[in-house]
Structure 1
Amino acid sequence: MGAQLSKQVERRKAISAEKKVLADLQQNGGCDFPGSDYHPPDRANWMSGLNPDNIRIHQIVWPGTHDSATNDIGIPLVTRPFAQCQSLSIYGQLKTGARVLDIRVQEDRRVCHGIILSHSVDVVISDVRKFIQETQSEIVVLEIRTEFGHDDPPDFDQYLVDQLGEFLIHHDEQVFNKTISELLPKRVICVWKPRKSAQPKPGGPLWSSGYLKDNWIDTDLPSTKFESNLKFLGEQSPAANRKYFYRVENTVTPQADNPVLCVKPVTDRIRGYARMFICQSFARGFADRLQIFSTDFIDEDFVDACVGLTSARVEGKA
C-alpha cells in the first residue's frame, strides 16, 4: 500500500512538472505565427472562404478530431467520462470547422472506444452527408478503422461505397497537388483501415491505411507528448512533397496506473497549447510539415489556428 501511494505521489509530481514546462514555454515563446490573427467569418464554409481555386490539398492544415464519434458514447455520468473525447456531434464538429474525422468501429458497425459503445456508424455517415449537402466546397477526410481488439465489420468496404459513393474522391496520389476546385463535386477522401480484411485497392473509391499516418504515443504526460509530436513532425518531409497525410494529435490519454481516468481533465493538460505547438513548429524550422492537426473536444479557436495557417500558406506568407 505504501509503495503504491509513493508511486502515485511521484506520478502527480511528474505531471505537475510537465504542465509547468508547457506553461513556461508558452510564456517565453508566445503563440504568434503567420495567420494566427485570422478568424474565418463562416467556419462551416471556411474552405469556400479561402477560394477553392487557390487552395491545393497539400497546403491545407486540416483541423481534425480524435475519437470523433464519442459525444454520446456509453452511459452518462457512468462510463461516458472514461471514453468521451468530443462534446459535439459529427455534424456539429463539421459545422465548427473540423475536416478530418477519426471513427472507430467494431464487428456490428457500432462506434466504440475500447469496450465502451456508442451509436451505429450510420449516424456518422448521415451527419457527413447532411453537412456535404449543405455546403459546396468543403472537403472532408473520413478515417474509419476497426478498433483495437475487435474484428472488422463484414463487407464494410462495400457499405462505405454504397453510402458515400457519389461523394468519394477516388484514390490518386495526384490529389495532393490538386486544388479543391479540381476535386469538386467529389467531397470525401475516405481512408478505410481494417485490421484483418484486405486493404482498399489502388485507384479505387477508398484509400488504404498508408495514406494517413501518425506516430502515436500513449501517455498522460503533456510535455512528453508535446515534444514527441514535434520530434516526429520534424522527421517528416514537407507536406508539399508527400503523397500521404501526416497527423499530429494534440492529446494526452488516461493511464491505467493513474487514478485520474476521465478523459477531459487529462487531455486538458495539453489541449490549450495547440497554438503554441504551431508556433514551436515555426521556431524549430519545420512548420511546412504540419498537415493534419487533431484534438479532443474541438473548439473554434483550434479551428481558427489551423485555418489561419492555411490562409497564410495560400497567400505565400508561410
Structure 2
Amino acid sequence: MRPFEYLRAADAAQAVALVGADPDASYLAGGTTQLDLMKDGVFEPERLVDITRLPLGGITHTGTSIRVGALTSMEELAADPVVRERLPFVREALLLGASTQLRNMATIGGNLLQRARCRYFRDPTVAACNKRAPGSGCAAITGAHRMHAILGTSDHCIALHASDVAVPLVALDALVHVQGADGVRTIPLTRFYLPPGETPNIENTLVRGELITAVEIPLPPRGTRSHYLKVRDRVSYEFALTSAGAALIMDDGVIAEARVALGGVGTIPWRAWDAEDVLRGSAPGGEVFRSAAEAALTGARPLPGTAFKVELAERTLVRALETAAGAGS
C-alpha cells in the first residue's frame, strides 16, 4: 500500500468539497473492500476523507418506507424489526452477504458501491482490464470466467456486480439520496448502476464528489411474500454463483404484483422486468414460475465458462418464487 493523506471531514458539505475538488481523493467509511483494494495496489488514492463520524447513520420509519442512513451497518439494518417483519428478503440478503464481523463494519452505502469481484480487475499484474485501465482489453473474456456475468455484458467487460442486498433493493425500487457540490438529488436504484458498454470504468451515475447520504426503501403492502435465495460453492463467506430476490403480492389466489431481481449473473444488480410481466395476473405454480425464469434470462450472453449459469439462474429463481409463494411476510 502506498502512502496516503488521511483527513477527517467535519460535516457532509466539507467532505463533498474535499473529494469534489480533488481527483485523487476518496471517501472512507467501513473500508471492508476499499482497504483490500488499496493493499493490492488496485486502488491508490492520495487522500482518504473519513466520513465515519458524520451523522449519516440510523434508520427512520414512515408508514410507506424506511430511510436508511448511508453509514448504517449491514448488521444494524438486518436487526431492524420493520425489516424483519416487512422486508424478509432484504434481511436474508444482508445475512447471506457477509460474515458477522464484516456486517458490523460494512455500511449500506459502501455495499452499494462495492467494486467488481473480477480476479483480473483485482490483480494489478494483469494488464488487460478495461475497468481498471480503459482501453487495455478484458482478460476475463478469454481467461477463466466461471464467476463472471452473463447479463448486461459487453465486448469490453464481463465483470460481475457482487452485492447481495442490492438485488432486493433494486426489486423494491429503492431510492439513493446523494449530496454534491450542486446540492442534493435522488436517484432510483434501477437507474443508479451503469452496464459496462464501452466504458466499464464508469460504474454508476454519481458525479465527482457526490456522497450517498441515505437509501430509501419503499415498504410493500402487508402480506407481501418474499424470499432471497443465494446459490454458492460453499455455505460460508462466498459470493453468489446465482441468486434471486422475489416479492409477490397475492390477491384472491392470483399474483397481483411481482418484484424480481437477480444476482450473480449481471454486470449490475439485475431487475427482471420480463419475469414480472409473466407473473403479474397469473396463478402461482411451477409452469408460470418456469416461464418467468426463462423470461428473466432473455438476452443472456454466456461464454463457455459461464454457460451453466443460464439454467442455474433459472432454477434459482423458480425456487425463490416457490418459497415466496408459500410463505407470508
TM-score w.r.t. the length of structure 1 is: 0.23
Name the one with the larger helix percent. Answer: 1
Give the alignment's TM-score, normalised by structure 2. 0.23
Greater share of strand:
2
Structure with larger RCO (C-alpha < 8 A, sep 6+): 1
